[in-house]
Amino acid sequence: MCGIAGIMTKDGTAPDGAVLDRMAQALAHRGPDGRGRHASGGLGMVQTRLAIIDLETGDQPIAADGRDGGRAVLIANGEIYNYVELRLDMGRAPFTTRSDCEIPLQLYLREGLGFAEHLRGMYAIAIHDLVRDRLVLTRDPFGIKPLYFARLRNAFAFASEPKALLAAGLVHPSVDDQVRDELLALQFSTGRDTPFAGIERVLPGETLVIEKGRIIGRNRRRVLDDGPPLPLVRETALAYLDNLLDDAVGIHQRSDVPYGMFFSGGIDSTVLLAMMARLNDRPVQAFTAGFSGTHAADERVLARRIARQLGADHTEIDFGAGDFRRLLPRIAAAMDDPAADYAVLPTYKLAQTARERGLKVILSGEGGDEIFAGYGRYRRALRWPVLGGRPMREQGILHGLGVLRDETAAWRRGVNAAEAAAADRRWSPLQRVQGQDIAHWLPNDLLTKLDRCLMAHGVEGRVPFLDDKLAAFGFGLADRMKNRGRRGKWVLRKWLDRVLPQSKPFAAKRGFTVPVGEWIAADGRRLGPLVAGQPGVAEICRPEAVDALFRSSGKREMQAAWTLLFYACWHQHHILGGTPQGDVHEVLGEAA
């Protein structure tokens, strides 16, 4: 796991070495174990390494010669989980390392631009084809690993995080107004554009070909099959699921360094812990967050009981109001591609704790709800309106609260595009709403949150539910295998009921929540004026309405207040250049 970045000039002159150094320094948190550089002609690339597999010979860049005279150099951020099998299949390929990331390089030299079709894993890869003098960028189909680029007047630049492009002075920090409006309505943004004007995402599953600093080719690998649901009976589905979980969790544990997992006690994380306990001889290290002194459901009680039953080495952390005030500015700084998901708060502290315990790899349950249809919003979207049904993301978070100076529906363009794309697929009604989330919510909220919060501490996050084979199976199941009555993830619950009935997977459970509303309400009289006075907020919101919002206690109002608070911290750091040091009051300008 690493950070990668590079510049290709349009006129073939060598990129400025000092600019490449600044990009590498901005990504140092992603790779504290080493740095590498490649320079040839008009292309310069840098990499910062977090050593996970092949600690001795896995440094990057990796260079290789093809049998037909080709020569290429690779830098990568990711893990290729099927590298063992691919290495065996490739026979006498001239490998020079034991790194999993040498596999895609050899595949490229052998098969060209279709090399990523063979990869099972998470990755953002940059390859310099020296013979054709072209740069190839590719990203895994679910968008687990991030990759961004900027089309400059004299060059093309790319990086694992937008902050590297900003820190290098390649892009001026300014806001794309349309994307900002989408962010404030959804708490994340969709599609190619980011909230930074001039910085774009390589889309999940996309491969770009760049020559002389210009994009000359694109292709995209579809993440999910287009066929109708699989007609599997219950016992067959459960048998397949057991085998696929065993396989997916097993390969996600391939590591030369210690690993653990984030454990909430919910269905997804309990499935992962149960399978990890089966596959490991030693107790699994599991980490759970809770919120003492609040009305939020404390997951630690249930998690503690299940962890004990599975023999896990269980660590509990408490996230309180003091953590909220102290850590929010740092978290907003880490979330340069912003996702105002309140789960960033405990995720950041969990990652910090895991790293302090000596772990570099964490398995987590992201993707389980999207692949196996766990969200209640899916069931609501499928009901008739007279029965309480409504479309997903029908209105924005700030809608109707009188906060915005100008309220339009333009923020929904990305959601509309995802709905239209899902409608064109040969999917069931349930698969269509799942597909919408997989297209934008999953990569741009959940996976971005996991990547930034963990990599801020030099920890790699792995998501077994998004393994190619397991995800294809889960998404492809008939609706009834996933959704029954008021319960989603039916087949996962049934598997867990057989493997660990003590976890009571069919019992009603309160959904995961972080009590940001309580913390904001307790501090609203101080926070309201500070947020209302922030330049990024004041230009689009009525200050008096923002102040009143923070003095309210309604659920909708508190969600809106949290979104504006997060955005204010994000804007203060990434656009205005403020420091994230100090608590939220100090960062937003309150005198000490």
* CA separation for the pair 377, 391 (Å, rounded): 8
Whether 259 has a pLDDT exceeding 90, the answer reads yes
Looking at residue 591, its pLDDT comes to: 45
Instruction: Give 354-357's long-range contacts (Cβ < 8 A, gap of 24+).
Output: 354/260, 354/285, 354/287, 354/457, 354/459, 355/457, 355/458, 355/459, 357/260, 357/285, 357/315
Give which of 6, 24, 2 is closest to 101, Cα–Cα.
Answer: 2
* CA separation for the pair 111, 106 (Å, rounded): 9
- Name residue, tokens 């403020």: 578
Whether 357 has a pLDDT exceeding 60, the answer reads yes
For the chain, what's the residue count? 592
* CA separation for the pair 176, 180 (Å, rounded): 6
- Burial of 250 from C-beta contacts in 10 A (0-12 / 13-18 / 19+): middle
pLDDT band at 508 (very low <50, low <70, confident <90, very high): confident
SS3 345: helix
What is the per-residue pLDDT across 266-292, written as a single tens digit (0 to 9) for each?
999 999 999 999 999 999 999 999 998
Mean pLDDT confidence for 408-427: 91
Looking at residue 57, its pLDDT comes to: 63
Token pair listed for 184: 């404030």
Strands 34-40 and 200-201: unpaired
Whether 45 has a pLDDT exceeding 90, the answer reads yes
Q: For CATH 3.60.20.10, list the domain ranges present in the chain.
A: 2-220
* CA separation for the pair 447, 452 (Å, rounded): 9
C-alpha distance from residue 25 to each of 257, 332, 333 (Å) = 24, 19, 15
Mean pLDDT confidence for 85-101: 85
Let me know: does 464 contact 144? Beta carbons within 8 Å.
Answer: no
Let me know: does 118 contact 125? Beta carbons within 8 Å.
Answer: no
Mean pLDDT confidence for 380-388: 85
Q: For CATH 3.40.50.620, list the domain ranges present in the chain.
A: 234-503
Give which of 130, 124, 127 is closest to 106, Cα–Cα.
Answer: 127
DSSP string, 181-230: HHHHHHSS--SSB-SBTT-EEPPTTEEEEEETTEEEEEEE--SS--SPPB
Q: What percent of the chain has pLDDT over 70?
A: 98
Any idea what the Cα angle at residue 557 is, between residues 378 and 337, rounded to 5°? 65
Looking at residue 1, its pLDDT comes to: 61
Full-model pTM: 0.96
CATH number of the structural domain 2-220: 3.60.20.10
Looking at residue 385, its pLDDT comes to: 81
Intra-chain end-to-end CA distance of the chain, in Å? 40
pLDDT band at 592 (very low <50, low <70, confident <90, very high): very low
Q: Give Rg (Cα) of the chain.
A: 23
Q: Which amino acid is at 558?
A: M
* CA separation for the pair 226, 370 (Å, rounded): 16
What is the per-residue pLDDT across 360-373, written as a single tens digit (0 to 9) for each?
999 999 999 999 99
Q: Please, what is the average pLDDT of the chain?
A: 94
Looking at residue 395, its pLDDT comes to: 92
Token pair listed for 586: 């100090």
Looking at residue 55, its pLDDT comes to: 65
Whether 159 has a pLDDT exceeding 70, the answer reads yes
Mean pLDDT confidence for 404-427: 91
Lowest mean pLDDT among 108-122, 307-321, 577-591: 577-591
Looking at residue 324, its pLDDT comes to: 97
Whether 237 has a pLDDT exceeding 80, the answer reads yes
Of 145 and 57, the one with more pLDDT? 145
DSSP annotation of 504 reads -
Let me know: does 539 contact 403? Beta carbons within 8 Å.
Answer: no
CATH number of the structural domain 234-503: 3.40.50.620
What is the per-residue pLDDT across 551-570, written as a single tens digit (0 to 9) for each?
998 899 999 999 999 999 99
Strands 285-290 and 313-318: parallel
Find the helix or strand (DSSP H, E) in which 421 lies: helix 413-423
pLDDT band at 309 (very low <50, low <70, confident <90, very high): very high
* CA separation for the pair 248, 466 (Å, rounded): 9
Let me know: does 211 contact 137? Beta carbons within 8 Å.
Answer: no
Mean pLDDT confidence for 148-173: 98
Let me know: does 261 contact 285? Beta carbons within 8 Å.
Answer: yes
Lowest mean pLDDT among 141-145, 387-391, 523-527: 387-391
Looking at residue 371, its pLDDT comes to: 98
What is the per-residue pLDDT across 169-220, written as a single tens digit (0 to 9) for each?
999 999 999 999 999 999 999 999 999 999 999 999 999 999 999 999 999 9
Let me know: does 199 contact 211? Beta carbons within 8 Å.
Answer: no
Let me know: does 344 contact 449? Beta carbons within 8 Å.
Answer: yes
Looking at residue 214, its pLDDT comes to: 98
What is the per-residue pLDDT across 448-495, written as a single tens digit (0 to 9) for each?
999 999 999 999 999 999 999 999 999 999 999 999 988 999 999 999
Q: Give the rounded distance of the alpha carbon of 235 from its chain centre.
A: 33
